Amino acid sequence: MQGEDSRLSMTRRDLLRLVGLSAGGAAMYAVMNRLGHAAESPYQGTPVLQGTPRGASVLILGAGLAGMVAAYELRQAGYKVQVLEYNHRAGGRNWTLRGGDTYTELGGFTQHCQFDRGHYINPGPWRIPYHHRGLLDYCKKLDIPLEPFVQVNHNAYLHSSKAFGGKPQRFRTVNADYRGNLAELLAKATQQSKLDAQVSREDQALLLESLRQWGALDEKYAYVAGPGTSNRRGYDKEPGGGLSAKPLDSQPLSLHDVLGSHLWSGLSDGEGYEFQTSLLQPVGGMGRIGEAFARKLEGVIRYNAKVTAIHQDQGGVTVSYEDARRSGHVQSARADWCICTIPLSILSQIPMNVSAPMAEAIGAVPYAASVKVGLQFKRRFWEEDEDIYGGITLTDLPINTIAYPSCDFNRPGKGVLLGAYLYGLDAYQFTAMSPEERVRRVVEYGSQIHPQYRQEFENGVAVAWHRAPYTLGCFATWTDELRDKHYDNLCQIDGRIALAGEHASYLPAWQEGAVTSALDVITRIHQRVVAGGTA
Amino acid sequence: MKPLLCIVALLLACTSCVRAQSSGKPLYTYASLRNANGEAVFHAICQGCHMPDAKGATGAGTYPALAGNSKLGSPQYMAAVVLFGRHNMPSFEVRPSDHKNFFEDATLTDEQIADLVNYVRTHFGNHYTNSITAAEVASMHPQTASAKQP
């Protein structure tokens, strides 16, 4: 068996080597795709920009991840690069709020983050899927330490205000009881010959065997209290050591109770491709990535530069900008090419002479609302009282999500958790509140799940993305219909201007979308430059 | 109301709407949003960007003011923006359920949109005397509009 496998893979490897030798990397990639490899990510490593840019210059708008990836690579390839950034810092949505930080949102509402030293919240992206190879590659290049991000925690909660009297249930028990009851049901149907038309006798035997394992069924294919069930859903009294160490089995919930609670709707949260183990996070906050890029690009980025107009002509692109802190004095920057990573929410308001289809695309994509709230508590009660180390609690309350920190596990002292992560109508409503009101409400709602909130809460910060002065929204909400109509037009190089960012990707809201769109755009611009240098 | 009745009423209110257990104005659910009038919709949703005083805000880009904005001269224009969105502003049109995002879209009925437009055009220093009806908003939906075209 094993020999056969290795023979197969030898053959495959030889084939790939031959294809690679005779037809080059692209052909090898195409074959690998057909063989089922390499389909995970369009990322093929940092593009090698071969050939000299012959003194060509590129002006990059926005020092978020897309802009800084482009700047970093183009500089390495020998381009003259300058970056204009609206904020006084780099990173864009790659951003960590720490104690001592001040953040003023639109409307003039200012918050002073009062977290203790070492504590933080990531208002934007906060987790890196293992297959986001572009971003992970830059973390490696920039020497950014990563640690596991816990997505699924079997001991965190699924909570419904309408089920079990509002008492939160452990993910573990709902998961075990949902599976156990389904397995029992399917086993019964099999044994009562109700599946004979669909499933062969041989497969029925295998199905029963698999159901027993999958659902923790007993020898009669029943899902009942016992050691096997407790081993999945937990015990009424945990096994221990010594005289009174004998465990007490717990009583499973019925199928009716599990279904009626609707808590099953939270079970697949970690099943999606982007949420499967392993997920990672930079040690010390997601903002470490933007901060590291900014150090590499010192002197290249001009901060507090608010772009007011983008104009291209035969010879290049001129961008007008003013000081973001006080308007009036307009300056300009010019280069042969312009890579614009300004979010469409803002770019749609900036005069820019591109083709009508691209202009239409820029104005066609609405931005999602999202709100995140970080709360500092006097102690890590979720660990100390409830054995929850990282992971996510889901609730039908407007706060939607409580995420426990995936760092500093089991340390004494204070802790900061994500007290709310909102989308849709809840996000609209929290955006419409003052920051203080958001925090106050989040603490009130959260105390329905963790009563310790009332005693232990110290301070909080709330970021509503539609009020972020530099994005005016969270991310581009493409629909299939919008993509069909506008996506390709958005991604074209229009004369001497090209766009990059999560909005120019099929990975909306993910940093990997920003990274891969930037790599794609610099590759295409570079091809034009080495081919002749004109648009 | 007698104290006991008060308590009973309060208990009933709480069990039917546990979500609202946070002090201050109750939050809308997707279902209860239908009961919101124009004023309530403005304060629950619109003021997030257009600000509580409807004066808008400017950062790298701008949220237009709804106070003293000459574009409000046309209630139809305003209704169209709410219905179909504009630039980064999402559409609030009630759409078929196959139009799915990973989060549910918040939508407003034609009646709510009319009431919202009329509310904004008569507050925040706006004193327009004409108004728009739900039927007029209804006539602006694409299928209705295309059916009317020759």
Segment A278-317, tens digit of pLDDT: 999 999 999 999 999 999 999 999 999 999 999 999 999 9
Q: What residues of chain B lie within 8 A of the CB of A348, using their CB? A: 61, 87-88
**pLDDT band at residue B101, thresholds of 50, 70 and 90?**
low
CA distances, A47 to each of A348, A532, B46 (Å):
30, 20, 44
| Residue in A84, A103, A106 to test binding to B, most B beta-carbons within 10 Å | A106
At the second CATH level, the architecture of A97-152+277-284+368-467 is Alpha-Beta Complex (3.90)
Query: Would you state the pLDDT for residue B24?
Result: 81
Residue B142 has pLDDT above 90, yes or no: no
CB A418 within 8 A of CB A403: yes
Query: Would you state the pLDDT for residue B23?
Result: 73
Chain B nearest C-alpha distance from A305 (Å):
9
CB A432 within 8 A of CB B43: yes
Does the CA dihedral A217-A218-A222-A226 come out positive or negative? negative
CB A401 within 8 A of CB A395: yes
Mean pLDDT, residues A345-349 taken together:
98
CB A180 within 8 A of CB A250: no
Which domains are present in chain B?
27-148 (1.10.760.10)
Mean pLDDT, residues A408-418 taken together:
97
Which stretches within A286-423 are classed as H helix? Answer: 287-296, 344-347, 356-362, 381-384
This model of the complex carries an ipTM of: 0.88
Query: Would you state the pLDDT for residue A281?
Result: 98
**Residue burial A347-367, b: 16+ Cβ < 10 Å; e: rest:** bbbbebebeeebbebbebbbb
Mean pLDDT, residues A494-516 taken together:
97
User: Which of A156-165, A209-218, A519-528, B86-95 shows the lowest mean pLDDT across its residues?
Assistant: B86-95
pLDDT tens-digit profile of A391-400?
999 999 999 9
Three-state secondary structure call for residue A390: coil
- The angle subtended at Cα B3 by Cα A451 and Cα B1, nearest 5°, is 125
CATH superfamily of A57-90+297-365+479-531: FAD/NAD(P)-binding domain (3.50.50.60)
Q: Any chain A CB within 8 A of the CB of B15?
A: no
Instruction: Name which of B23, B44, B85 is nearest A428 (Cβ-Cβ).
Output: B44
Mean pLDDT, residues A362-388 taken together:
98
Mean pLDDT, residues B32-43 taken together:
97
Instruction: Give me the percent of chain A exceeding a pLDDT of 70.
Output: 92
Instruction: Name which of B48, B88, B103 is nearest A348 (Cβ-Cβ).
Output: B88
Q: What residues of chain A lie within 8 A of the CB of B43, using their CB? A: 432
Single out the residue of B52, B32, B42, B103 nearest to residue A368, CA to CA: B103
CA-to-CA distance for A283 and A264, rounded, in angstroms? 32
Query: Would you state the pLDDT for residue A41?
Result: 57
Q: What residues of chain A lie within 8 A of the CB of B30, using their CB? A: 424-425
Find the distance separating the first CA and the last CA of chain B, reported in whole Å. 60
Query: Would you state the pLDDT for residue A343?
Result: 98
Higher pLDDT, A18 or A191: A191
Which stretches within A120-170 are classed as H helix? Answer: 133-141
Residue A32 has pLDDT above 50, yes or no: no
| Residue in B11, B23, B88, B101 to test binding to A, most A beta-carbons within 10 Å | B88
Residue B7 has pLDDT above 70, yes or no: no
Amino acid (1-letter code) at residue A127:
R
CA distances, A131 to each of A32, A70, A77, A135, A291 (Å):
17, 21, 26, 9, 23
**pLDDT band at residue A43, thresholds of 50, 70 and 90?**
confident
Higher pLDDT, A28 or A268: A268
Judge residue A72's burial from the number of C-beta atoms within 10 Å of its C-beta, 0-12 exposed, 13-18 middle, 19 or more buried.
buried
Tell me which chain B residue has its CA closest to the CA of residue A86: B60
Amino acid (1-letter code) at residue B141:
H
**pLDDT band at residue A13, thresholds of 50, 70 and 90?**
very low
Chain B nearest C-alpha distance from A367 (Å):
5
Mean pLDDT, residues A79-89 taken together:
98
User: A533: alpha, beta or left, given left = phi > 0 and alpha = psi -120 to 50?
Assistant: left
Q: Any chain A CB within 8 A of the CB of B45?
A: yes
Chain B nearest C-alpha distance from A330 (Å):
14
Identical fold at A57-90+297-365+479-531 and A171-257? no
CA distances, A361 to each of A190, A287, B87 (Å):
54, 30, 10
Query: Would you state the pLDDT for residue B102?
Result: 65
CB A358 within 8 A of CB A347: no
> What pairing do the DSSP bridges indicate for beta strands A497-499 and A337-340?
parallel
Instruction: Name which of A166, A366, A437 is nearest B88 (Cβ-Cβ).
Output: A366
Amino acid (1-letter code) at residue A272:
G
Q: Any chain A CB within 8 A of the CB of B10?
A: no
Residue A248 has pLDDT above 70, yes or no: yes
Mean pLDDT, residues B70-89 taken together:
96
**pLDDT band at residue A497, thresholds of 50, 70 and 90?**
very high
User: Which of A122-131, A212-221, A525-534 shows the lowest mean pLDDT across its residues?
Assistant: A525-534
CB A53 within 8 A of CB A29: no
Residue A21 has pLDDT above 60, yes or no: no
Residue B143 has pLDDT above 70, yes or no: no
Domain A171-257 sits in CATH at 1.20.1440.240
CA distances, B146 to each of A482, B114, B141, B142, B149 (Å):
20, 21, 9, 6, 5
Which stretches within A77-197 are classed as H helix? Answer: 133-141, 171-191
CA-to-CA distance for B21 and A397, rounded, in angstroms? 9
Query: Would you state the pLDDT for residue B18?
Result: 43
- The angle subtended at Cα A251 by Cα A245 and Cα A252, nearest 5°, is 130
Mean residue pLDDT of chain A comes to 92
Query: Would you state the pLDDT for residue A8?
Result: 37
Block residue for tokens 């305003």: B78
pLDDT tens-digit profile of A58-76?
999 999 999 999 999 999 9
Supply the Cα-derived Rg of chain A in whole angstroms: 27
Q: What ranges do the domains of chain A cover? A: 1-38, 57-90+297-365+479-531, 97-152+277-284+368-467, 171-257
Mean pLDDT, residues A20-33 taken together:
42
Q: Any chain A CB within 8 A of the CB of B43?
A: yes
Tell me which chain A residue has its CA closest to the CA of residue B60: A470
Instruction: Name which of B21, B24, B60 is nearest A346 (Cβ-Cβ).
Output: B60
CB A495 within 8 A of CB A413: no
**pLDDT band at residue A133, thresholds of 50, 70 and 90?**
very high
The pair of structure tokens assigned to A112 is: 């002073």
